[in-house]
Amino acid sequence: MMGADMFVVPMLIPAMAATLGSSISQTAFIVSAFGIAYAGSCPLLAGLVHAWPSRTVIGVGLGIVVIACTTAIFANSIAMLVAARTASGVGAAIVNPVVWSRLHTTAAGYARGPVMLGGTAVSAAGQVVGIPLGTLVAAHSGWQLAFGALAVGFAAVGIGTRITMSRYVEFADSQRSHTAAIGALRLWRTPTFTLAITSNIATQAARLGTFPNFSSKWRTRCSRLRGGA
């Protein structure tokens, strides 16, 4: 769902701009808002919720994302959409580290590699599906429907994790949360970590940034072809 969310939304930007009466470049800031919120809050939040049970962390994070997607459905301004996508970024920052950590720790030693690769493959599949799906929805059904589908999907995942995940508490010492949060911030002093994150940000910016412009040109070309016919 996170993979689909990340790549569905950029394809909706031209439709959002037309509905809200803004330019594509202004509307595209919703993608930046998500990325900045995710990258900026993830190291700190991952440390602060370190002492919480995984089940609780995922429930809180997905709850924020569901509320954010629902808010986006009724957004009537760019500012409201930016706020919704910022909240989605924060929710993703809470959920994703715990998901990958849970995959790693619950699999047996010999199975960790396949399990992690499986998680990566599923996330990538969501991204691949999200691109054409977002384009079709924006062209034929309206971008609000896409956010509604995302809200329903995330809610279903949240309910599924509440049912299937155990309720035991992994860590009970709240002091470890503060220590982990400080340790996460200190990671930025490590050149390898900083370079890896910076390169990833640049890559994601290039990938996500090209979609709205491509989608807009493709729709314009299709309109001209239909008009000529």
In a domain, 132, yes or no: yes
Per-residue pLDDT of 208-221, as tens digits, reads: 555 555 555 545 55
Confidence of residue 184 (pLDDT cuts 50, 70, 90): low
**Domains: count for the chain:** 1
Per-residue pLDDT of 59-103, as tens digits, reads: 999 999 999 999 999 999 999 999 999 999 999 989 988 888 788
Q: What is the CATH number of the domain that holds 188?
A: 1.20.1250.20
In a domain, 21, yes or no: yes
Separation CA 155–CA 158 (nearest Å):
5
In a domain, 207, yes or no: no
CB-side neighbour CA atoms (13 Å) of 14: 19
In a domain, 56, yes or no: yes
Which residues are within 8 A (CB) of 97 and not within 5 positions of it... i.e. 6 or more apart?
42, 46
In a domain, 226, yes or no: no
215 token code pair = 């989608």
**What's this model's pTM, rounded to 2 decimal places?**
0.75
Instruction: Say yes or no to pLDDT of 127 above 60.
Output: yes
Per-residue pLDDT of 20-61, as tens digits, reads: 888 888 888 898 888 888 888 877 777 777 778 888 889 999
